[in-house]
Amino acid sequence: MGAWSSEPFGNDGAGDLVADIQHGEFSFEGLGWAFEDDYLEVDGGQYAIALVEIALVVQGTEPAHPALADVDLSKVAPLFTEDKIRWIVEMADRALTDSESSELYELWEEAGSLDEWRTPSVESLDRLRATLT
């Protein structure tokens, strides 16, 4: 069984994303497979929510989440262009909207912990959305 937490980095997808950044292997293109289908599966939802948090940090909007404390984001920061941030917002919206479009939403809903998981993620997404011009 994998990692499962309402924290944005308390899951396998986010852990893999952070590991890719640490090893210099992160690219948005490398994540494309997770967002190809209309129905966003767990990995895509986990990536999208973690990317929201990372985008807030690289923009200087938020302090680093404890899971990012030892991660050098300076090499990936230039990848977080306004276009990519718009894309992150769109993907996170998909993850957080409803169970018809997001497996992650569906799983948290079935677990009876939807608000515990969703509320902080929506708040972070709203803060990221507010940075767009």
Give the count of domains, the chain: 1
Q: What is the pLDDT of residues 28-84, one digit of tens each?
A: 999 999 999 999 999 999 999 999 999 999 999 999 999 999 999 999 999 999 999
Q: Does the residue 5 lie in any domain? A: no
pLDDT for res 86: 98
pTM for the full model?
0.95
Q: What is the pLDDT of residues 49-64, one digit of tens each?
A: 999 999 999 999 999 9
Q: Does the residue 93 lie in any domain? A: yes
pLDDT for res 4: 75
Long-range contacts of 80-87 (CB under 8 A, 24+ apart): 80/54, 80/55, 82/132, 82/133, 84/28, 84/55, 85/55, 85/59, 85/128, 85/131, 85/132, 86/132, 87/28
Q: Does the residue 2 lie in any domain? A: no
Say how far apart CA 41 and CA 34 lie, in whole Å: 7
Q: Does the residue 67 lie in any domain? A: yes
Q: Does the residue 64 lie in any domain? A: yes
Domain housing 26: 12-129
Q: Largest Cα–Cα distance in the chain?
A: 41
Q: Does the residue 109 lie in any domain? A: yes
pLDDT for res 2: 61
pLDDT for res 90: 97
Burial of 97 (0-12, 13-18, 19+ CB in 10 A): middle
Burial of 96 (0-12, 13-18, 19+ CB in 10 A): buried
Q: What is the pLDDT of residues 86-133, one digit of tens each?
A: 999 999 999 999 999 999 999 999 999 999 999 999 999 999 999 997
Q: Does the residue 4 lie in any domain? A: no
26 close to 20: Cβ distance less than 8 angstroms: yes
Q: Does the residue 17 lie in any domain? A: yes
